[in-house]
Amino acid sequence: MFRQLCLNQNPKSWHALASYSLLVFLLFSQSWPSIMSEEKVAQGHTWQDAFEVLGISWNPDGTLNREILIPMVNATPTVTDPNNPPVALSNDVQLSPYSKAYVRLYIPVTPPATTKLPLIIYLHGGDFVLYSASTAIFHEFCNNIASQFPAVVVSVEYRHAPENRLPAAYDDALNAIFWVKNQSLGIGSRDQWLHYADFSKVFLLGSSAGANIVYHTALRTLDFDLSPLKIRGILMNQPFFGGEIRTPSEIRLIDDPYVPLYICDVLWTLALPLGANRDHEFCNPIAGGTFLGRVSRLPRVFAKANEGDPLSDRTTQLVKLLLENRVSVVYEYHQGGFHGMELQNTTAAQSLYNSMKFFVNSTGVTDDEDSHASY
């Protein structure tokens, strides 16, 4: 069951609080009439039920009042305490003087002097509605990737729904990729940290809603010449997809404590274009739509699902579509578990890091990469 979290001032508690809070789905609405709070959603719940359970309110102008405080952390561009160094270095970079768009860059504390590092473009979770590149748990996630792979990481700050409905988040991710391309060409001067990046070995990575953004953004990149960038692969950890017809895993886990389906339904109503249902391609990528014909042109894919996640069947369906289109796929389907397990379980987190690291380091080694699924 969901709980409202009250953040205390002890920094040691941030990770535990953030880990649990990222499994909490907060709800708001954009200019909804008051009657919406009484309309029924899945499992006989109302919007007002969700608001009361989660401690939600919304503003008269249709913007969201996100009441639950989530720990945010500053970037760490230098080692200020040699006795307690950060896992990796990080720095916030504004993409344009004409907007608030920014990315948070990460590099290892001691990057290699002669070897270029893979470049990971990361999209955080939050169900399109919440959180930031500076949210503590995502900051830690990127620190670990930069340190362990090792890699240069570009964590993208994107606009939230419902103030900015989809495809706004996809547009922001694509804009960040264009910025990286300009960096590779030295346009507007190259950030000193990107001198460590191998622009011919770029990967798009996301978890939950971030994995949804990664998938749709990868399809959009196929319209553009990104050279000298080379997107070698996309990594989707427990992607957030849905549909009008319930899958067996959704029916079996309809009252899941981490992602109950009635919460997901409301989130999709907030995120999708006005008037769209859950069979819109942004939510259900196998239902058709504008970009379905491009699937066969995607690069290599890593996908991971947990049996205990009600959304796991959605990942399996997408993997099947990818394989039917002869896309090279590595699929990890884990028995048990739950959505966002790695946020609470350090063993699960390390297993995910290891699998993704292997995928990144093995991709592009040969030109003949057979499609396969591992369970």
> Could you list the active site residues?
208, 309, 339
Q: Which of 301, 346, 351 is nearest to 327 (CA)?
A: 301
Q: At what angle do helices 168-185 and 209-221 cross, to 10 degrees?
A: 60
Amino acid (1-letter code) at residue 131: Y
Q: What distance in Å separates the CA atoms of residue 155 and residue 18, rounded to the nearest whole number? A: 18
Q: Could you tell me where the DSSP H helices lie in 222-366?
A: 248-252, 261-271, 312-324, 346-362
Total residue length of the chain: 375
Q: Which residue has the tokens 């590092």?
A: 117
Largest interatomic CA distance in the chain: 62
Distances (CA, A) of 37 to 41, 89, 162, 172: 10, 45, 16, 30
Asked if 212 contacts 318 with a C-beta cutoff of 8 angstroms, the reply is: no
Sheet holding 88-94, edge to edge: 88-94, 102-108, 152-156, 117-123, 197-207, 231-237, 300-306, 329-334
